[in-house]
Structure 1
Amino acid sequence: MQIKESTEEYDVCIVGSGAGGGMAAHELTKAGANVIMLEAGGWFDSEDFAMFTWPYESPRRGASTRLQPFGEFDACFGGWDIEGEPYSTTEGTTFDWFRGRMLGGRTNHWGRISLRFGPDDFRVKSKDGLGGDWPISYEEIAPYYDRIDRLIGVFGTNEGIHNEPGGVFMDPPEPRCYEHLIKDACDDMGIPAIPSRLSIITEPHNGRAACHYCGQCNRSCSTHSNFSTPSVLLPPALETGNLEIIDNAMVREVTYSDGKATGVSYIDKTENKEYKVRAKIVVLAASACESARLLLNSKSSDFPNGLANSSGVVGKYLMDSTGTSVAGLVPDLMDMPAHNEDGTGGMHLYIPWWKDNSTLDFPRGYHVELWGGRGMPSYGFMGGIQNYNDMFREGPKRSGGYGKELKEDYRKYYGSIIGMSGRGESIAYEDNYCEIDPNMVDEWGIPTLRFNYNWSDHEYNQVKHMQETFRSIIDQMGGKALWDMPSKEDGYGITNPGEIIHEVGTTRMGDDPDTSVLNKYCQAHDVDNLFVVDGGSFVSQPHKNPTWTILALSMRASEYMTNQMNKGNL
């Protein structure tokens, strides 16, 4: 390809527009830096999406597509299988790599579960001898969590749980009917069920309207009441006049000369032409695996194994949350009168980790996400109604239903199914990694990733505990689980690595350059004007969803960059 190099040198080039990139753009432009942002996907405006579209307005009734695997009304474009962007796995590995190809990336998709990491989460090795300790403490990151709470807005309650720190919260919404029943059962069993902590505002905030409880947060939010970077962080950054965004820009590599990153090279996907951008500082925020891919593909005589990879750690210590789910039918919720139970587009209650690991056969913990209720019907909704009916029907089972009988069953069972999904901590292992596949390239000729990942007995035992706990709660509610307990041979129903879309750890931070890629400010040990502000910097992956910590670390790194630029060090 003929490569066109820009004549302008920007203060900062940011690769990626999701949580880490969006926060960096917000902070750096506010500080006066001249910033260019490169996004591999297309432009997106949340005001123009399908927030109020009825399922019957679609010939698919909301069914998924290759581009939108969570349904055609889901606001995230991309998925695990993107045309022209393959990836591979080593023998015996299953890894599912989800990518959001659009402005805002996966902040357009996530469940807005905004949990802080706790004091123990930063010193896991000191507690149980597994993995590694972070080079920072909760006390160092807490002020940035506070600032993010105030900037973005999050609802919840301060419960005083040691490793589930509270925050600066708005009032949470009232639990739904089924959530009250789950809480009653949990109270009887000594399991805490507390208000969720979601970045959905329940009061007007910073020019954004309060949530009106349409329950469709996955469709993006035309009133900007939930958090995504195109709704909350990028507009004020653009208003400074200091931000330029180029979309459909597939970055090939970080360019390098004389000990410094000099910018990036990218393919304009609409023109199929290559361009070079020059910048004094390069910030990678493309997602943990994509940023590792960029570094591994950025080779030079100084870094034959990839930029900033003198440690050989880039791509290693890959982690994803564990996961499994159980659904059950609860008779007390059958034949309910019609009522509006939409609320926010997510759970109003959740279960934080409550157990003492000294009594268990696995380390670390998990939290429980609750679901059910009388949500918007769409494709596949209540598709197993006959099975539900047979579970509680006396006498012979029937094989079908239509007409009046079918309508009666829908009314009877609508809202009677509840579910619980566990999200747990996996252990960081060096031999869980991503690397460059020597035999595969993407549509633009860029070498692609190959994954090697396996769960250990720690994760399998944890998921077994999830399954047993969820079934016990359903039993306590007087319900029945919809499927049998998965066997050990089936991994107790554990999800594939990558499936929970919480992958982190590929460019881990640390004080020792021989065993880590970044320092505690997300700055590369080997190249001082290179930063990584996505989940790659994580040393461990607590059971909490990573977005709030990505935002906090990016804000902290941006503050450090600004101070160093003002001192003339960058």
Structure 2
Amino acid sequence: MMSQSNGNKTPDVLIIGAGPSGAVAAKRLAEEGFSVMCLEQGTYPDYTVIKSMEPEFELTKDAHYGWYPNRRKAPSDYPINDEESDVAPLMWNGVGGSSMLYAAAWHRLKPSDFRVRTVDGIADDWPFSYEDLAPYYDRTDVDFSVSGVAGDTCSPHFEVPLPPFPLGDMERRFAAAHDRLGWHWWPGTNAIATVKNGVLEPCVRRGSCLWGCFDGAKASVDRTHWPINRKLGVELVQNARVLRIETDRQGLATGVTYVDRTTGETKFQSASAVVLAANGIGTPRILLNSGRSGAAEGLANSSGLVGKRLMMHPYGTVVGLFDEFFEGWQGPYGQRAYSLEFSETRPDVGFLRGAKWQLMGTGGPLNTTGSFPWGGAGNWGKDFHKEVRRRFGHSAYWAIIAEDLPDEANMVTLDPDLKDSDGMPAPKLIYRASENTRRLLDYNQQKAMESMREAGAYETIVAPIVRETGWHLLGTTVMGNDPERSVVDGFGRSHDVPNLFVFDGSVMPTSGSVNPTGTVAAMALRSAEALIANARDQKVSLSAA
């Protein structure tokens, strides 16, 4: 039986990772009186170095909070071998996790996304339905201060806690175009406060969401959850890089071995239950590194699926150039509006499933010179000034998020040679976009070009698969009811190790086509409540009790 909070040094629950799923789970467990400890390999973000109110922001933003860890190389980062991947992984390691850098576009999966095998005969159905998750979506929408308009005709109907951002000239232009085409569009739903709400201030629309919100309007969990968690008694240990999960002879988790990166010491922390919340790369990395002799394939991996079925939402863009001027550098950066017109399988198109489009501005003057979202190597050369004038304030783009189907050939493994600064094997990614994905993106980009022309664009620029867009890291410890075909059950509990859980996006059987953080947070809340409900019968190692 799992004990509840009693002041012992062995916590009831040890959580690995202080991002959205770890923060949501820690809060709910602590509310019920469980003793909770969270190990986080990074520290709190330093918002004082984010100069989004200063003219030099575009020049300095990537130096501190760039998206790509292999380029950023912060002390809390670890190297990732992505030479065999079509998409580069993006993340931030620290308190708040990648919610620090996410665009905060907030969605729910559609009911059909939970039933892909039933609907389309591919992939797997989830072990629960949209209706099972809906009450948890409702609660996390409130906790993350979601703003927008209720009643989307192409998405599950739900109440949006905060009012929407006003539609600007750009959004109204595309709304009218889609009305003429008879295509779906909807104002953006974002985990960004439009009015003061709790700890969050109203958004002032700097458009700097992806480099940390200096003004405190975006719902990153370092702001929304961790102050509450710490008041509830959750012990947050920073600069703690987990190397492996330890088990006893009965196969139960006893705790973790980690490096205290402040002192350089390697330590053991016991726990009655262990929860992984380290994202779709970090979680399988730890499990694969936790194998004992005779278990070369890692821990909790009798199915052989740990690290397999990596999904990364391949991402393309279609930029439109306009004669008219509009303020494309204003926030919210992630989505001013979106379209789910092509998010379901259509007959006679040569591919299955679909994509979400999100309407975005192209940023400030410097952003007109780079490769994102324009494709290519950037706007440099003899026509530099002409192109800046042509692009700045005269452009918008559809970001196209392709639903990624699970494929066991796409995976996270341990690199045999590359290691991090603490000697832990680095993850290696093997990921190739399928023919289905390429056809899906091509079709949607052709349709997005039509949308651009209808909205008045005189020219369109297409970037097929943009490499540095791996924000969504999913599927590598898949959930399911059959232990031979899944790693965890529908509540994140390992089939092999009864007191080991996974609460992050790596458990998702399919990816849908929308931004996944809303689903990840709702699943973490649901799984935490299942852990609470079953605590009396929870098996624990005697050496951890």
Q: Scaled by the length of structure 1, what TM-score is found?
A: 0.84
| Local SS of the residue matching 1:555 | helix
Matched, 1:244 2:235: yes
1:69 to 36, 51, 66: 66
| 1:396-452 Cα shifts (integer Å, max 9, x gaps) | xx96698xxx8xx97786411111110010111112111122333222111222222
1:419 to 397, 401, 415: 397
Contact 2:336 2:358 in 1 (8 A): no
Q: What letter matches 1:113 in structure 2?
A: A
Q: What letter matches 2:98 in structure 1?
A: R
Contact 2:329 2:393 in 1 (8 A): no
For structure 1, list consecutive stretches of 5 or more residues without a partner in the other structure: 1-6, 71-76, 388-397, 487-492
Task: Give me the whole-angstrom Cα distance separating, in 2, the residues matched to 1:345 and 1:477.
Answer: 20
Task: Give me the whole-angstrom Cα distance separating, in 1, the residues matched to 2:355 and 2:435.
Answer: 15
Task: Give me the whole-angstrom Cα distance separating, in 2, the residues matched to 1:17 and 1:293.
Answer: 17
Match of 1:518 in 2: 488
- CA drift of 1:381 comes to 4.0
Task: Give me the whole-angstrom Cα distance separating, in 1, the residues matched to 2:231 and 2:347.
Answer: 52
Match of 1:54 in 2: 54
Match of 2:44 in 1: 43
Match of 2:270 in 1: 278
Contact 1:367 1:544 in 2 (8 A): yes
Matched, 1:551 2:485: no
Q: How does 1:37-436 map to 2 (within 5 A)?
A: 37-44=38-45, 46=47, 48-50=48-50, 52-56=52-56, 61-62=59-60, 64-65=62-63, 68-70=65-67, 78=69, 82=73, 85-88=78-81, 93-161=85-153, 163-222=155-214, 224-240=216-232, 242-257=233-248, 258-300=250-292, 303-331=295-323, 333-334=324-325, 342-354=330-342, 357-372=346-361, 377=364, 379-381=366-368, 414-436=392-414
Match of 2:474 in 1: 504
1:495 to 437, 453, 466: 466
Contact 2:85 2:429 in 1 (8 A): yes
> Comparing 506-515 with 92-101, which one deviates more in the overlay?
92-101
Match of 1:394 in 2: none
- CA drift of 1:157 comes to 2.2
Match of 1:13 in 2: 14
Contact 1:118 1:163 in 2 (8 A): yes
- CA drift of 1:50 comes to 2.2
Q: What letter matches 1:253 in structure 2?
A: R
Task: Give me the whole-angstrom Cα distance separating, in 1, the residues matched to 2:32 and 2:72.
Answer: 38
Task: Give me the whole-angstrom Cα distance separating, in 2, the residues matched to 1:216 and 1:93.
Answer: 28
Q: What letter matches 1:227 in structure 2?
A: A
Task: Give me the whole-angstrom Cα distance separating, in 1, the residues matched to 2:281 and 2:55.
Answer: 35
- CA drift of 1:494 comes to 1.8
Task: Give me the whole-angstrom Cα distance separating, in 1, the residues matched to 2:310 and 2:383.
Answer: 47
1:79–1:106 CA distance, 2 compared to 1 (3 A): farther
Give the structure with higher Rg (CA). 1
| 1:94-122 Cα shifts (integer Å, max 9, x gaps) | 44222312211100011111100111000
Task: Give me the whole-angstrom Cα distance separating, in 1, the residues matched to 2:13 and 2:219.
Answer: 24
Q: How does 1:418-497 map to 2 (within 5 A)?
A: 418-483=396-461, 493-496=464-467
- CA drift of 1:185 comes to 1.4
- CA drift of 1:510 comes to 0.4
Contact 1:45 1:230 in 2 (8 A): no
Q: How many residues align?
A: 521
Task: Give me the whole-angstrom Cα distance separating, in 2, the residues matched to 1:324 and 1:563.
Answer: 43
Task: Give me the whole-angstrom Cα distance separating, in 2, the residues matched to 1:16 and 1:79.
Answer: 19
Task: Give me the whole-angstrom Cα distance separating, in 1, the residues matched to 2:304 and 2:329.
Answer: 52
Contact 1:120 1:163 in 2 (8 A): no
For structure 2, list consecutive stretches of 5 or more residues without a partner in the other structure: 1-7, 375-380, 541-545
Task: Give me the whole-angstrom Cα distance separating, in 2, the residues matched to 1:341 and 1:86.
Answer: 32
Task: Give me the whole-angstrom Cα distance separating, in 2, the residues matched to 1:549 and 1:340.
Answer: 29
Q: For the aligned residues, what is the CA RMSD?
A: 2.8
| Local SS of the residue matching 1:379 | helix
Contact 2:358 2:400 in 1 (8 A): yes
1:81–1:212 CA distance, 2 compared to 1 (3 A): closer
Percentage of matched positions with identical amino acids:
28
> Comparing 458-467 with 95-104, which one deviates more in the overlay?
95-104
| Local SS of the residue matching 1:263 | strand
| 1:357-403 Cα shifts (integer Å, max 9, x gaps) | 12422111111111227x5x35344679xx9xxxxxxxxxx96698x
Task: Give me the whole-angstrom Cα distance separating, in 1, the residues matched to 2:156 and 2:435.
Answer: 25
| 1:478-500 Cα shifts (integer Å, max 9, x gaps) | 323354x57xxxxxx1234x733
> Comparing 558-567 with 523-532, which one deviates more in the overlay?
558-567
Q: Scaled by the length of structure 2, what TM-score is found?
A: 0.88
